[in-house]
Amino acid sequence: MGNESGVIRPAESNINNQWPFTLKRYVMAITLIGIGLAILFAPIPHIGQPIYILYSSPLFLLLLLGWYFGRTGLATLAHYKHRKKSKISIDGDLGDRDATPSVSFLTPAYNEAKDIGSVVEAISNLDYDGDIETVVVDDGSEDGTWYVLKALEEVYPNLRVFTQENGGSASARNTALTKATNEIVISLDADTVLHSNSLKEIARHFTSDEIVAVGGNVSVENRDHWWAKAQIFDYALAMEIGRMFQSRLGYVLCLSGAFGAFRRETLIEAGGWTDHWLYSDDFEVSVRMHEYGKIRYTPSAQADTIVPTTFKGWFDQRKTWAQRGISVMLLHHKKQLNFKEGMIGIIGLPLRALLTSLIIIEVILFLLTIAIGPEPFFQSVGWVLAVGMFSMTGFCAIVVGILSVLIVNDQPIDYGGWVIAYLLIYRPLHGFVRLYGFGQAIWWEISSFGGSLRSNPTHYLQEKVLSKQKTVETAD
């Protein structure tokens, strides 16, 4: 995705390595928690207070409280322990702070002539003493990206550039993987810029042989548009609550394709990224990598990425994520509730499946209530769901309030006024976009059921990546 702001982005922004007790954070936390409580206890005419209506439906209340406050509580504990241990030079969970394994950045580039220079420059400015190489694969661009890359190659000695016919970002990543030579490979999008200390923070984890992959903390770069500002809170909740909750429980469901690190040999053995159009490549490879070792998330390794600023661009992106996420869950259905798969099989995938089902049921019944109206059953269910959706806004406001004290990233604090747009506009629209994506995913699954990737994904991908590696070696 191109840089819609048209400006060169800095490689550095604020990161807090100490517990972020500041007055601004406290004010935001108290304000949002107050708004959340006001919503939950607001007297709705002819209905009553949402919190008491939910109290009369204990299962619904339990789901809401468990999801919003259960995972927030665990994420809070994880943040506290992370900050405490990050000061220690060597720690079993975080690794050796002074570790400098060799690193290869893998960056697919399609029509990124405007942004790729900023990415390469940011990598060259990283505060890191280990060996670094950057492998960029031009994926058949039509805007002169290849010529920009060749010019950059003359300036940056550790940059290696290649080109291929357009095959998608996963295919370009796999090509870069076969060209990489270092111990650790980091998937980095061509519109994503690292903070200067991010590589140190992510590399230290690999001093433990059990760790095979580590996810970084991705936030919003192009904050000059109101729709992008609303997405700041979406990224913050997903990363600093969702990923921290998962990592605390011993799994990470999805390493962002924009910024994720892997052991190179293990990733090749696993088969690299799937380039099958049906699946989310970053989600799918994350699930598969759990077969080879532990995956962790670190909030201190930060990167800024460009997000869509038009409704159509955002709609297409989130719809695609929903579509392909469902397909990945169906692909790995045998891991659901499978104790042999560890925490991702016991908790990760089943919890994702449960929440996805609840979103589908909730939105469908809500739409049926609007359509049918007088029918007593749908009317009663509809009121509960309407109150539930209204209450979730209150719960979410409280969680964002708690998050404002915890987070490493300052963006949600600096743009705190936009949280109202996130709560009242962004979140409801996101629910309906996800439902649309889920519906298309089900149709995709019916249309493509029984394909080669469906039966044995790891074997299929291993053959593709190893074949591509042999082709590259022969060419060299």
Query: What is the distance between the alpha carbons of residues 82 and 299, in angstroms, rounded to a whole number?
Result: 9
Residue 456 lies in a domain: no
| pLDDT at residue 334 is higher than 80 | yes
Average pLDDT over the chain, rounded to an integer? 79
Is the dihedral angle over the CA atoms 281, 180, 463, 476 positive or is it negative?
Answer: positive
CB atoms within 10 A of CB 442: 15
101 pLDDT higher than 80: yes
Lowest mean pLDDT among 57-66, 163-172, 268-277, 292-301: 57-66
User: Residue 235's Cα: distance from chain center in Å?
Assistant: 7
Classify residue 214: in a domain, yes or no.
yes
Q: Are residues 41 and 178 in the same domain?
A: no
**Confidence label for 3 from pLDDT (cuts 50, 70 and 90):** very low
Residue 156 gets which letter from DSSP? -
196 and 228 share one domain? yes
Tell me, yes or no, whether 362 and 221 share the same domain: no
Section 303-324 average pLDDT: 92
The tokens for 249 are 């429980």
Q: Please, which residues bridge with residue 263 across strands?
A: 184
Tokens 């601004």 correspond to what residue?
Answer: 24
Range picked from 166-180, 398-412, 462-476 for highest mean pLDDT = 166-180
Contact status, residue 163 vs residue 146, Cβ threshold 8 Å: yes
User: Among candidates 50, 411, 466, 22, which has minimal Cα distance to 271?
Assistant: 466
- Residue finishing a domain among 342, 357, 383: 342
| 335 lies in the same domain as 363 | no
Q: Is residue 80 part of a domain?
A: no
Residue 333 in domain: yes
The amino acid at residue 243 is R
pLDDT class for 33, splitting at 50, 70, 90? confident
38 has a pLDDT exceeding 90: no
Domain boundary, last residue among 342, 363, 378:
342
d(Cα 471, Cα 476) in Å, to the nearest integer? 9
Do residue 50 and residue 96 come from a single domain?
no
127-148: average pLDDT: 92
User: Does 338 lie in the same domain as 263?
Assistant: yes
Q: Which of 428, 446, 263 is nearest to 359 (CA)?
A: 428
pLDDT class of 286 with cuts at 50, 70, 90? very high
- The residue type of 218 is V
Cα 151 off chain centre by: 32
Residues 147, 213 within the same domain: yes
The pLDDT confidence band at residue 20, using thresholds 50, 70 and 90, is: low
Please, which residues have CB within 8 angstroms of residue 380's CB and are 6 or more apart in sequence? none
Q: Judge if 181 and 36 occupy the same domain.
A: no
Residue 76 lies in a domain: no
251 and 382, same structural domain? no
Q: Indicate which CATH number applies to the domain containing 95.
A: 3.90.550.10
pTM summary value: 0.81
Has residue 42 got a pLDDT over 60? yes
For 250, counting Cβ atoms within 10 Å of its Cβ (0-12 exposed, 13-18 middle, 19+ buried), the class is: middle
Q: Total domain count for the chain?
A: 2
382: enclosing H helix or E strand: helix 376-406
So what's the pLDDT on residue 162? 94
Q: What is the pLDDT of residue 6?
A: 37
| Gap between the Cα atoms of 183 and 400, Å rounded | 38
On whether the CB atoms of residues 191 and 112 are closer than 8 A, the answer is: yes
Q: Is residue 120, in this structure, part of any structural domain at all? A: yes
| 139-162: pLDDT as tens digits | 999 988 999 999 999 999 999 999
Contacts of 149 (CB under 8 A, 6+ apart): 109, 116, 136, 138, 159, 161
Residues 117 and 249 in one domain: yes
Range with top average pLDDT, 74-88, 166-180, 350-364: 166-180
Distance CA 375, CA 282 (A): 44
Place of tokens 């290696």: 160
Please compute the mean of the pLDDT values over residues 197-222 and round it to a whole number.
91
Residues 6 or more apart from 437 whose CB is under 8 A from it?
318, 319, 320, 321, 322, 323, 326
Q: Final residue of a domain: which of 293, 324, 342?
A: 342
Q: What is the tens place of the pLDDT at every residue in 270-281?
A: 999 988 888 889
Q: Are residues 214 and 142 in the same domain?
A: yes
In the chain, the amino acid numbered 444 is W
pLDDT tens digit string along 48-92? 666 665 555 555 556 666 666 677 777 777 766 766 665 554 445
Q: Are residues 238 and 312 in the same domain?
A: yes
Q: Compute the CA torsion angle 117, 297, 95, 18 (nearest 10 deg).
A: 80
Look at residue 6 and tell me if it is in a domain: no
Q: Taking the C-alpha atoms of 308, 355, 257 and 207 in order, what is their torsion angle to the nearest 10 degrees?
A: 140
| 366 belongs to a structural domain | yes
Q: Which amino acid is at 374?
A: P
In 264-359, beta strands by DSSP E: 294-305
The residue range of the domain holding 275 is 90-342
Which token pair is 45? 């005419």
